[in-house]
Amino acid sequence: MLFAFLAGLNLPRAEAGLSREMASLQELAQILQQKPLKALSEASLWQAATRGMLASLGDPYSYYLNVQEYTEIKQLKTGEVAGIGIEVGVQNGELKVISALDHSPAWKAGLQAGDLIRKIEAKSTAQLSFAESLQLLQGETQTWVQLEIERPPSLTRFNLRIQREILDLNPVRYQMLPNQIGYIRLNSFFSDQVPESMQTALTALDEAGMRALILDLRNNPGGTLSNAIEVCSLFLPQGNVVRVVDRENQETLHTVTGLPLLDSGKELVLLVNQGTASAAEIVAGSLQEQGRAVLLGKKTFGKGLVQSLQSLSDDSGLSLTTSKYLTAFGQAVHGKGIEPDLEVELQTGVQQGSEQDTQLQSALAFVQDAL
């Protein structure tokens, strides 16, 4: 722990080998522990300093996670976590809902992709960092959070009180639709279960006589890069998936990893919308560029940054943006999104998967015409 270490030193600058800036940081730590009217612990100083250093990056997706928060975010990979079930991001300085997890408390309360969160527990999100907003949204199961929401394009404002619950993070649901058209709903790429669950779904549908497939990535907030590559590999026999660009502007080109499970002669339609983000955009962009899938719906969110989790020695951690990604053909995604091949609106308030779901019905009609 940086501050705990520095505060315990009482050495001349030259002897300690500290830079001028680090020496000043040591002095500040000692002053803040000894002089203020309000006593400060080493832990609180450390957390404040860490958050301040990360804030200097000017990146809302790089932030400090205390021990509890770091434990919870790692649990996303195992499928066990409590919350209200939303993924949020920052666009144009505004806290925006990327997606509400299917059947989560947020989904049941009516939160939608594109909703703007103006207040959390009466605190304006305009005055909060991204990390501070996440902290307020998180909490123990059976506790409540109060939100003030603004919904474009009417900009109507309303309040929601949502109870936190243990979330069902089963990433994949599937069924056979009329005319032997398979349907898979992939709701995120976070869980380690994603590749195996997708393989199970594709195999079951294929054995049931599937003639074509609709893969629903709407309101999918993304997840891990490795899961995105593995999912692409289920549909592409060869080729590139994504370009990852690091801080030195060096590119790493990722390719598919195995044999596809969906026959190349079977039509594939991907449903996308403004809640399709990050790893979901990697899959959508790759399959579109390779000519393997038709994208139908609305333009995607546009989050083309890659975050890594960094563990610290006290079991806390960091979410740190370490790279950005481009499509395999070199197109930027961040702040731009991916345009669908067929743009289809979905009326506000219509439940996805229902008979009134115009995007799903349009995908069914497109596939049936192609059969």
pLDDT tens sequence across 101-118:
888 999 999 999 889 999
- Give yes or no for residue 79 having a pLDDT over 80: no
Q: Where are the beta strands (DSSP E) in 113-155?
A: 116-120, 123-124, 144-151
DSSP secondary structure string, 163-191?
A: E-EE-----EEEEEEGGGEEEEEE--B-S
Q: Which of 133, 191, 197, 278 is catalytic?
A: 278
Has 69 been annotated as catalytic?
A: no
> Catalytic: 316?
no
Instruction: Give the burial string for 247-263 (b: 16+ CB within 10 Å, else e).
Output: eeeeeeebebeeebebe
Under the banding of pLDDT at 50, 70 and 90, the label for residue 324 is very high
User: What's the pTM value of the predicted model, to 2 decimals?
Assistant: 0.81
- 289 among known catalytic residues: yes
Share of the chain above pLDDT 90, in %: 61
Give me the residue label for tokens 């991204």: 130
Instruction: Kindly name the residue from 87, 230, 267, 289 that is annotated as catalytic.
Output: 289
| Catalytic position from the list 77, 96, 298, 303 | 303
Number of H helices, E strands in the chain: 11, 19
User: Could you give the domains of the chain?
Assistant: 2-56 (no CATH), 82-166 (2.30.42.10), 172-370 (3.90.226.10)
H/E run at residue 272: strand 267-272
CB 244 within 8 A of CB 225: yes
Grouping H, G, I as helix, E, B as strand and the rest as coil, residue 50 is helix
Q: How confident is the model at residue 353 (pLDDT cuts 50, 70, 90)?
A: confident
